[in-house]
Amino acid sequence: MMIEKYNLINLKTVKSTNLEIKKLLLLNKKINNLCLSADNQTDGYGRRNTKWFSYPGNLHLSILLKPKCKLETVNQLSFLTSISIGETLKKKKKNINIKYKWPNDILLNKKKIAGVIIETSSYLNKKIKWVIIGIGLNLINFPHLKKNNFKASSLKNEKIQIDKDIFIDLFLKIFFRNYYFWKIKGFNFIKNKWISNIYKKNNNIVIKQQNIYVEGKLLNVLINGGIKLKIKNKIKDLFYGDQVI
C-alpha cells in the first residue's frame, strides 16, 4: 500500500494555521501534503468566518492537499477528516462515545470537542488546485458557550489524557491512509463510517437553516457533502445548515 509521504511543521504562534499555509503557497506553489501545527493560534476561524476559540495546549492543525478531484466532491474530505479524528481517539480509548454532527463537528459524550474547515482554490474547469483542511481539537481547554445547542468540552475534561505530539503523529498516519483509500475507492467507505456514527435522537436529526428547523431521518450523504433526509413521507436534499440534534 503506497501511502503518500507528508511533511509536518510545528510553529509557536500564528494567526491561523490555514493562513500560514496560504502564505507558504504564495512562496512555493509546488508544495503538497504539508501539515502545519501551532502551539498558539491568535485568530482561528471556522466555517462562514465564525470564531474558533484557540487555547494554548489545544490542537491547531492544517493540512495542504492537491487531490485530483472536482470542486463538487471536495467536501468529502471534511467527512474523511472527522472519521480520522474519531479513529485516532478510539485507538486511545476503545469504548469512547464519539459521534459526528453534520456538517463538520465531532462530539464526545454529546459535547463538541473538534471542528473541521475546508478551504479550496480551483481552476475555471472546477478542478481543484489545492485544499487546506483546518482542524481544531480541544485537548485541554474549551469555551463555555451559553447559546449553542451543543456544549463544548475537551479531552481532558472528559478524562482522556493524550500527548499532543503523539495524537498528531497517530492522526496523520490514519488520515493519510484514509486519504489513499478515498482516492482509489471513492467516498462510500468514508460515508458509511460517518453515517453509522452520526449523532441522532429517536433515529432523527434536526438541521437549522437560518431560522428554519428541519427534522427528518438521514438517508444518505451526497457526493457534494449535502444530506438526503426523509421528512415525514417526503425526501429532501439539504446543502447548508447546522445540525442542532
Domains and CATH numbers, the chain: 7-195 (3.30.930.10), 205-243 (2.30.30)
Confidence band, pLDDT 50/70/90 cuts, at residue 94:
confident
pLDDT digit string, tens, across residues 170-209: 999 999 999 999 999 999 999 999 999 999 999 999 999 9
Question: Which ranges of 41-156 does DSSP label H, i.e. alpha helix?
Answer: 76-92
Segment 50-56 long-range contacts (CB within 8 Å, at least 24 positions apart): 52/115, 52/117, 52/136, 53/142, 53/143, 53/152, 54/136, 55/138, 55/140, 55/141, 55/142, 56/140, 56/141
Q: What is the pTM of this model?
A: 0.95
Residue 228 confidence (pLDDT): 97
Phi, psi angle pair for 81, to nearest 5°: -65, -45
Residue 213 confidence (pLDDT): 95
pLDDT digit string, tens, across residues 109-155: 999 999 999 999 999 999 999 999 999 999 999 998 776 678 999 99
Which residue type does 161 have?
A: Q
The mean predicted confidence, pLDDT, of the chain is: 94
Phi, psi angle pair for 92, to nearest 5°: -80, -40
Contacts of 164 (CB under 8 A, 6+ apart): 57, 59, 139
Sign of the four-CA dihedral 69, 11, 100, 218: negative
Is residue 168 scored above 90 in pLDDT?
A: yes
Confidence band, pLDDT 50/70/90 cuts, at residue 64:
very high
Please give the Cα distance from 34 to 64 (Å, whole number): 5
Residue 2 confidence (pLDDT): 66
Phi, psi angle pair for 208, to nearest 5°: -100, 120
Please give the Cα distance from 66 to 128 (Å, whole number): 7
Confidence band, pLDDT 50/70/90 cuts, at residue 43:
confident
Please give the Cα distance from 39 to 234 (Å, whole number): 48
